[in-house]
């Protein structure tokens, strides 16, 4: 037996080229079971996932304003994770909670997520309903309408 550095649980180590037998594995079942780690804040609340944090930021984008995937990622301390922000917004239309995912565009103001709306013109329709002008799938006056979550939230 040896000691695992992170969990401090004894683990079974099999000799090279010999897997653990079923009998040995059954004996050591508690040490080999997979446990899901849950991070708890000092307040006792469960730590939010990156996806949940993204959705919280998107909910705070004001009507008539837009932000970018990269700006959200940077505000959450993960500057190079703009694609992860996009992944977090994929299922927005199917959620019970109303998330204004149509207010998130790429760094040039293009409606890059429009294909995930049904129909694809829905993203533009929602933005125009809020007073944001869109021409050729790009936000007009993007710099003027840009909302930076890092400046506002932190």
Q: Compute the distance between CA of residue 38 and CA of residue 34 in angstroms, rounded to an integer.
A: 13
Give residue-wise pLDDT tens across range 82-109.
999 999 999 887 788 899 999 999 999 9
Range with lowest mean pLDDT among 23-37, 48-62, 68-82: 23-37
Buried b (16+ CB within 10 A) or exposed e, 82-107: bebbbebbeebeeeeeebbbbbbbbe
Query: Would you say residue 3 has pLDDT above 50?
Result: no
Assigned fold of 50-153: Arc Repressor Mutant, subunit A (1.10.10)
| Residues in a beta bridge with 22 | none
pLDDT value, residue 96: 82
Position with higher pLDDT, 46 vs 21: 46
pTM value?
Answer: 0.70
The 3-state secondary structure of 116-129 reads: HCCCCCHHHHHHHH
On average, the pLDDT of the chain sits at 80
Give residue-wise pLDDT tens across range 14-41.
455 555 555 555 555 444 445 555 555 6
Q: Compute the distance between CA of residue 13 and CA of residue 28 in angstroms, rounded to an integer.
A: 11
Nearest to 14 by CA among 32, 38, 30: 32
Q: What percent of the chain has pLDDT over 90?
A: 57
Q: Compute the distance between CA of residue 62 and CA of residue 28 in angstroms, rounded to an integer.
A: 55
Q: Is the Cβ–Cβ distance between 113 and 107 less than 8 Å?
A: no
Look up tokens 């959620």; give the residue.
95
């Amino acid at each position: 037996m040896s000691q695992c550095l992170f969990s401090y649980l004894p683990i079974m180590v099999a000799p090279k080229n010999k897997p653990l037998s079923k009998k040995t594995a059954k004996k050591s079942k508690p040490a080999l079971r997979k446990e899901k780690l849950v991070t708890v804040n000092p307040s006792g609340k469960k730590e939010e996932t990156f996806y949940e944090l993204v959705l919280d930021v998107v909910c705070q984008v004001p009507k008539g304003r837009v932000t970018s995937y990269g700006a959200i990622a940077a505000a959450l301390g993960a500057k190079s994770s703009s694609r992860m922000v996009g992944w977090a917004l994929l299922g927005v239309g199917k959620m019970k909670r109303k998330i204004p995912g149509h207010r998130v565009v790429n760094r040039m103001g293009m409606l890059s997520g429009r294909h995930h709306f049904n129909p694809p013109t829905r993203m533009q329709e929602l933005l125009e309903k809020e007073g944001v002008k869109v021409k050729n799938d790009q936000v007009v006056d993007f710099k003027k309408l840009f909302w930076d979550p890092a400046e506002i939230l932190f």
